[in-house]
């Protein structure tokens, strides 16, 4: 600030001295002296102003060369190994940036570049975009088979290349796409009673298998061949249903195996496992009612006709005693000792036929893993007889008849109860404190509901008169298939062979071998068109596998760039020379004129 004040003072002083100078040396010389003094002041001001002089200069620097190598398994291994070898020889003493890409992109050193690809995907577009955005190379060599399992819009790629001014060249490798098989088995676990069988849906897919191809399916239990079949491929898919029957109680581990076909290289998805647990006994059901009625008699008949059920039927007699019949090994039975059974079905209970202790024992049986079914009729609804066995508040309301039954879609039980006939008595049932599932409806009102109670299941059936389905079939001279299927399905749904041993089941199931997913690129067609478009748009070229060395020799390994530069005026000689010249000339003129 002081320097600026001195410059202003010098300017004013020089202007004030103009008149005396004019009288002594004349007008012309006075003007020249004043001009020289002002030039000196201006030169001094230039030294104080933070101004710069801009300029440019040309420098040479190494070119950025990047190489992107496909590491997916779909690339032909021998050719890829040869290309990697040629690349290492051609670039051995050069500074290049190298990446491998498959599912992910990772930088590698050129000597560490592997000749064997192990990737399960080929994200080509994403890899190119990432390399260009992060390094902006001058030259990018892409070595790939052209497959892209995560393709992106071409416009984004071209925009990134335009901004980075990158030239792309590519080596397109041959592609291996084997006739890959994929095995699917459903279910992978099952729990059975003694005597039951399980059906497995087996599906074999092969996207490149023609219709004349057959595959061999084998099922093993340990070293024992359980089943085998020849499956015909139709439109790339072969499927069948195998029914297996365990030969004893306990765990059974089955391995489903599809033999590889000719030319297949991916075999980790050719086998799968499933486990089956078989209970030591058949399904045991206790059917109980007060005074025998048609619903009880026909339900007993449906249960009796299932060979894999063992049963006991208990009904009251007019003298207050009870009559029991059924499987000899289960007699005599008691509603207070239910350990041998899996399901207890109480048909239309009334208060005068059952006791509180029996109700508590049945409820505890359900909580410990058993199945409980309680049905209703008009007398049991009016007397609230169901309360002995279900200590939960239920909202029960009569429904108009005939009651047309509609299964609930999406319900595990409802989906199995189809094509049912109407009944002549129905009640809507809604538990008030339980989250329940609806299996059957009349209109929009639930008539068959169930819920999980502890380790077991509880179901309430608000129907009476299903026995008429059997009578209608007999009138037509047919088997009572609808009635039989309804009761057998309902009992089987409520039964749990393990009676709560789900932790052990889950532990064994977690050890199953499931098929590995095949690499995504094995099902994608090779597409070098994108590489051709990128090379053409950027001035690059498509190379043959043997042309890498020649391409390397043609590269420009250095490039000239223009760098902008600036220099402050105070660091240049011009202001100093101007100041010195002005002061010297002014001093010379004043001395020449005789002034001090």
For 363-385, write each residue's pLDDT tens digit: 999 999 999 999 999 999 999 99
39 against 390, higher pLDDT: 390
The closest alpha carbon to 519, from 329, 226, 268, 187, belongs to 268
Mean pLDDT, the chain, rounded, equals 84
Residues constituting the chain: 596
316 against 58, higher pLDDT: 316
246 against 112, higher pLDDT: 246
CATH topology of domain 283-496: Rossmann fold (3.40.50)
Mean pLDDT of 56-64: 70
d(CA 31, CA 518): 96
Query: Residue 375: enclosing H or E segment and its boundaries?
Result: strand 371-375
Q: DSSP 3-state assignment of 477? A: coil
The edge-to-edge listing of strands for the beta sheet with 425-431 is 394-398, 425-431, 463-464
Of all residues in the chain, the percent with pLDDT exceeding 70 is: 79
Q: Which pLDDT does position 304 carry in this prediction?
A: 96
Q: Which pLDDT does position 183 carry in this prediction?
A: 86
Relative orientation angle of helices 154-164 and 124-135, to the nearest 10 degrees:
20
Mean pLDDT of 527-545: 83
The partner residues of 193 in beta bridges, in order of sequence, read none
Q: Which pLDDT does position 560 carry in this prediction?
A: 61
64-177+523-555: which CATH number, 3.30.1300.10, 3.40.50.1980, 3.40.50.410, 3.40.50.1820?
3.40.50.410
223 against 208, higher pLDDT: 223
Please say if the pLDDT value at position 61 is more than 80: no
Confidence of residue 177 (pLDDT cuts 50, 70, 90): low
Which contacts qualify for 536-540: CB closer than 8 Å, 24 or more apart?
Answer: 537/158, 537/161, 538/161, 538/166, 538/167, 538/168, 539/167, 540/139, 540/140, 540/167, 540/168, 540/169, 540/170
Q: Which pLDDT does position 525 carry in this prediction?
A: 44
Confidence of residue 523 (pLDDT cuts 50, 70, 90): very low
Q: Which pLDDT does position 332 carry in this prediction?
A: 94
Confidence of residue 348 (pLDDT cuts 50, 70, 90): very high
Confidence of residue 208 (pLDDT cuts 50, 70, 90): low
> Which CATH superfamily is 182-279+505-517 part of?
Immunoglobulins (2.60.40.10)
φ/ψ region of 156 (left if φ > 0, alpha if ψ in -120 to 50, else beta) reads alpha
Is the torsion defined by CA of 18, 19, 23, 27 positive or negative? positive
Confidence of residue 93 (pLDDT cuts 50, 70, 90): confident
Strands 139-144 and 65-70, bridge-based pairing: parallel
Contacts of 529 (CB under 8 A, 6+ apart): 146
d(CA 569, CA 586): 24
Please say if the pLDDT value at position 104 is more than 90: no
Relative orientation angle of helices 2-16 and 18-25, to the nearest 10 degrees:
40
Rg (C-alpha) for the chain, rounded Å, is 47
Q: Which pLDDT does position 520 carry in this prediction?
A: 47
498 to each of 193, 199, 310, 333, how far by Cα in Å? 9, 19, 16, 21
Q: Which pLDDT does position 211 carry in this prediction?
A: 62
Contact yes or no for 349/289 (Cβ under 8 A): yes
Q: What is the pLDDT of residues 267-311, one digit of tens each?
A: 677 888 999 989 999 999 999 999 899 999 999 999 999 999 999
4 against 87, higher pLDDT: 87
d(CA 285, CA 303): 8
Q: Which pLDDT does position 112 carry in this prediction?
A: 86
Mean pLDDT of 587-593: 70
389 to each of 109, 266, 336, 360, how far by Cα in Å? 75, 58, 12, 7
Contact yes or no for 8/557 (Cβ under 8 A): no
Confidence of residue 134 (pLDDT cuts 50, 70, 90): confident
Q: Which pLDDT does position 150 carry in this prediction?
A: 76
Q: Which pLDDT does position 522 carry in this prediction?
A: 43
Confidence of residue 76 (pLDDT cuts 50, 70, 90): confident
Confidence of residue 77 (pLDDT cuts 50, 70, 90): confident
Mean pLDDT of 316-328: 90
Q: Which pLDDT does position 95 carry in this prediction?
A: 83
Contact yes or no for 357/488 (Cβ under 8 A): no
d(CA 587, CA 37): 10
Confidence of residue 447 (pLDDT cuts 50, 70, 90): very high
15 against 479, higher pLDDT: 479
Query: Residue 422: enclosing H or E segment and its boundaries?
Result: none
Contacts of 73 (CB under 8 A, 6+ apart): 117, 118, 119, 120, 176, 266, 519, 521, 522
Q: What is the pLDDT of residues 458-509, one digit of tens each?
A: 999 999 999 999 999 999 999 999 999 999 999 999 999 887 555 555 555 5
Q: Which pLDDT does position 26 carry in this prediction?
A: 67
Q: Among the listed ranges 212-216, 323-327, 328-332, 559-563, which one has the minimum average pLDDT value? A: 559-563
The closest alpha carbon to 582, from 72, 45, 128, belongs to 45
Contact yes or no for 555/549 (Cβ under 8 A): no
365 against 588, higher pLDDT: 365
Q: Which pLDDT does position 429 carry in this prediction?
A: 97
Confidence of residue 395 (pLDDT cuts 50, 70, 90): very high
Query: Encoding tokens for residue 253?
Result: 């581990």
């Amino acid at each position: 600030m002081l320097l600026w004040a001195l410059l202003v003072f010098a300017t004013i002083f020089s202007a004030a001295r103009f008149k005396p100078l004019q009288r002594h040396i004349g007008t012309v010389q006075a003007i020249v002296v004043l001009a020289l003094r002002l030039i000196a002041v201006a030169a001094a001001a230039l030294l104080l102003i933070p101004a710069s002089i801009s300029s440019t200069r040309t420098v040479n620097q190494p070119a950025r060369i990047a190489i992107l190598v496909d590491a997916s398994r779909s690339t032909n291994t021998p050719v890829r190994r040869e290309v990697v070898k040629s690349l290492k020889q051609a670039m051995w003493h050069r500074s290049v940036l190298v990446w491998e890409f498959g599912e992910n992109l990772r930088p590698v050193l050129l000597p560490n570049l592997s000749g064997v690809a192990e990737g399960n995907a080929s994200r080509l577009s994403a890899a190119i975009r990432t390399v260009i955005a992060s390094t902006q190379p001058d030259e990018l060599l892409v070595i790939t088979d052209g497959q892209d399992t995560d393709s992106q819009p071409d416009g984004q790629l071209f925009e990134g290349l335009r901004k980075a001014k990158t030239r792309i060249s590519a080596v397109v490798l041959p592609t291996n796409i084997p006739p890959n098989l994929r095995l699917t088995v459903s279910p992978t676990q099952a729990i059975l009673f003694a005597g039951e069988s399980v059906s497995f849906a087996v599906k074999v897919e092969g996207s490149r298998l023609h219709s004349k191809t057959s595959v061999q399916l084998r099922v093993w239990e340990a070293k024992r061949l359980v089943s085998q079949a020849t499956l015909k491929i139709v439109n790339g898919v072969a499927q069948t249903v195998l029914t297996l029957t365990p030969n004893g109680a306990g765990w059974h581990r089955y391995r489903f195996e599809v033999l590889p076909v000719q030319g297949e290289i991916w075999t980790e998805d050719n086998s799968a496992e499933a486990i089956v647990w078989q209970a030591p006994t058949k399904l045991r059901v206790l059917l109980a009612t007060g005074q025998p009625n048609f619903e009880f008699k026909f339900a007993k008949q449906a249960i009796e006709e299932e060979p894999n059920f063992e049963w006991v039927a208990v009904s009251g007699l007019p003298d207050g005693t009870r009559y029991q019949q059924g499987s000899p090994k289960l007699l005599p039975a008691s509603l207070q000792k239910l350990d041998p059974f899996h399901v207890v079905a109480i048909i239309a209970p009334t208060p005068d036929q059952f006791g509180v202790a029996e109700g508590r024992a049945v409820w505890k049986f359900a909580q410990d893993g058993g199945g409980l079914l309680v049905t209703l009729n008009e007398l049991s609804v009016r007397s609230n007889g169901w309360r002995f066995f279900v200590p939960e508040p239920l909202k029960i309301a009569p429904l108009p008849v005939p009651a047309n039954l509609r299964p609930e879609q999406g319900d595990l039980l409802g989906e199995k109860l189809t094509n049912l006939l109407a009944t002549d008595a129905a009640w809507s049932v809604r538990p008030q404190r339980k989250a329940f599932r609806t299996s059957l409806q009349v209109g929009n009102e639930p008539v068959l509901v169930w819920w999980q109670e502890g380790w077991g299941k509880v179901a309430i059936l608000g129907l009476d008169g299903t026995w008429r389905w059997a009578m209608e079939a007999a009138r037509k001279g047919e088997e009572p298939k609808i009635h039989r299927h309804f009761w057998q399905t309902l009992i089987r749904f409520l039964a749990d062979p393990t009676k709560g041993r789900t932790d052990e089941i889950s532990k064994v199931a977690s050890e199953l071998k499931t098929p590995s997913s095949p690499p995504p690129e094995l099902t994608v067609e090779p597409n070098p068109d994108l590489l051709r478009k990128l090379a053409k748009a950027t001035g690059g070229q498509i190379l043959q596998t043997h042309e890498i060395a020649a391409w390397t020799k043609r590269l420009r390994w250095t490039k000239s760039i223009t760098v902008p530069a600036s220099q402050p005026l105070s660091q240049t000689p011009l202001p100093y020379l101007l100041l010195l010249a002005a002061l010297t000339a002014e001093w010379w003129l004043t001395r020449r004129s005789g002034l001090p």
